[in-house]
Amino acid sequence: MSDLPRKPTGVLAATLLILFGLALFVALAWSSHASLRELEAVTDARSRSRNGLLLAAEAMSALKDVETGQRGYVLTGDEHYLGPFETGTRSLDETFEALRRTLDDLPQAHLETLWTLVEHRVALAERNIADRRAYAEENSPWKQRLDEGRDTMDRIRARFAGIEAMLRAEIEARDRSLSALRAHALLLNVLLPAIGGALILAAWGLLQRERRRRVDAEAALLAANARLEDTVAQRTVELQRALGEIEAFAHGLDRSIEDERRRLAREVHDQLGQLLTALKMMVHRALQGAPGREQDWPQIEAVLGEGIATVRRISAALRPPLLDDLGLEAALGLAGRQFAERTGLACEVALVDAGQLSADQANQLYRIAQEALTNVARHAQARRVRVEGVAVDGEYRLAVEDDGVGMAPQARSSLGLLSMRERAALAGGELHVGSGAGGGVRIEARVPLIATGGEGG
């Protein structure tokens, strides 16, 4: 009897271990969400630097066209050389403006100083061409400006080289940051679940130990009862054999033995009842959080409820519940209604055959439609927008069309369109951008349909 547990310390410890394990899983979800946001920020910064690098190369290429065209014309007088000159001059303005927008948060690039040099070089080229037309070759003043043009180009090349080196250094820094973030995320994704799993296994082990202790206690009680019964039976036999001549005493002794048996039965009953009551209290206290602290259970329940609510949230800014449960048609229908309520624009959604899409394709098309509607709200100045989708010739076509002012030329290289093209490619398709029937913009994603019918988009 002294071996019976008096306090449910094992159950309490197991409960605390389970709660701590759940807290670790919540921490893992929060950490994963934070790591994802940081990864997105670093990736966007790297993409900006990469675009800046491409734009700088494009601007330098255009300036080389200007230089080559001018030099070819002044040396030969052939008008065909003016083609690259004019093309490079037109491209410079657009490319440099895009470069300004991309590197607007990098004042160390000194783009305005560089633009002054570029304008000066273009002006020299235009003067050289004008002088070549106005003067005979031997008297043309453009020869006197050769050194100035060469010096200007050298300075421009040095500036572009500095920008390129700066952007490459930033890309390398972002790559290092991405590697560090991935390593950190991998460590957390391995370490926290491992610790949480170990804690839950430890809690399971503690509960199993408590169960074994209860089983052992019950077995000990049964063994003690059996031993007592054997002892009583032996004593009865001995008394009957020793005092067989005294029948009355034997009957009295027998009654005493029966009384002893009843007493032992009450003892067994009481002990088992106390044990079962203790077990009930242990479970009750475990569910309440700690023995003697039932008032703490609502707080523990509130903490668990808050943890469950936190996991459910994160869980989308990334996929959408309707998309998983009811498919693309329902998800975009709801998105269209919310868009109309939020912006005041008339939004019509008409999708058919979306069930033929795979789950991944449905997810990518949903994100493309989201980005297209965001662009309409920001830039289109439209009154109406229509989202339509249909299966045609073995492919699914999802289009978002508005009646707004159309798309500016520089917008075709925006990050939003780049993101939509990448999503269409991830779904195995492509993105088409054109004019809508009402004069606005029509963005159409086309993805191939799986021959077996899709996975419940």
Answer yes or no: do 365 and 303 share one domain: no
Find the range with the poorest average confidence among 65-74, 229-238, 316-325.
316-325
**CA dihedral of residues 250, 252, 257, 260 (deg, nearest 10):** -160
Q: Would you state the pLDDT for residue 142? A: 64
Residue 149, helix vs strand vs coil: helix
Residue type, 384: R
Low-confidence winner among 3-12, 111-120, 160-169 (lowest mean pLDDT): 3-12
**Residue 234 tokens, joined:** 């032996």
Between these two residues, 373 and 456, which has the higher pLDDT value?
A: 373
Q: How many CB atoms lie within 10 A of CB 373?
A: 26
Same domain, 368 and 221: no
Whether residue 259 is predicted with pLDDT greater than 80 in this model: the reply is: no
**146-242 and 9-76 helices, crossing angle to 10°:** 170
Domain boundary among 316, 346, 369: 316
258 has a pLDDT exceeding 80? no
Q: Which of 44-48, 154-158, 419-423 is predicted most confidently?
A: 419-423
**Which H or E run contains 338?**
helix 328-343
Structural tokens at position 368: 């493309």
Per-residue model confidence (pLDDT) at position 310: 54
- CATH at residue 441: 3.30.565.10
Determine the Cα angle at 160 with ends 158 and 166, to 5°. 105
Please tell me the predicted confidence (pLDDT) of residue 371.
92
Q: What is the pLDDT of residue 275?
A: 55
Judge contact between 66 and 125, C-beta under 8 A.
yes
Question: Quick check: helix, strand or coil at residue 103?
Answer: coil
Contacts with 443 (C-beta within 8 Å, 6 or more apart), sequence order? 368, 372, 399, 400, 401, 420, 431, 432, 433
| Overall average pLDDT of the 381-404 stretch | 92
pLDDT, position 302: 60
Q: Which tokens in the block code for residue 366?
A: 């949903």
Read off the amino acid at residue 165: A
pLDDT of residue 268: 41
- Residue range(s) defining the domain that contains residue 56: 1-316
Q: What is the pLDDT of residue 280?
A: 43
Rg over CA atoms, the chain: 41
Q: Which of 316, 341, 356 is the last residue of a domain?
A: 316
Q: What's the pLDDT score for residue 432?
A: 92
What domain count does the chain have?
A: 2
Does residue 243 share a domain with residue 183? Answer: yes
299 or 155, which is more confident? 155
Q: What phi and psi, each to the nearest 5 degrees, are found at residue 212?
A: -65, -35
- Pair (77, 195) in one structural domain: yes
CB neighbourhood size of 122 (10 A): 20
pLDDT score, position 252: 47
Same domain, 295 and 325: no
- Section 117-130 average pLDDT: 84
Where is average pLDDT lowest: 212-216, 371-375, 394-398, 449-453? 449-453
Same-domain status, 264 and 368: no
Question: Which tokens sit at 12?
Answer: 């309490």
Does the pTM exceed 0.85? no
Residue among 5, 3, 76, 8 nearest 284 (CA): 8
- Over 90: is that where the pLDDT of 445 sits? yes
Name the residue with tokens 């000194």.
Answer: 110
Whether residues 86 and 224 share a domain: the answer is: yes
Per-residue pLDDT of 331-366, as tens digits, reads 999 989 999 999 899 999 999 988 899 888 999 999
Query: Who has greater pLDDT, 419 or 181?
Result: 419
Q: Name the domain boundary from 266, 299, 316.
A: 316
Verify that 386 and 263 share a domain, yes or no. Answer: no
Does residue 4 belong to any structural domain of this protein? yes
Residues across the chain: 457
What is the three-class DSSP state of 13? Answer: helix
Backbone angles phi, psi at 431, to 5 degrees: -115, 135
Residue 292 lies in a domain: yes
Percent of the chain with pLDDT over 70: 77
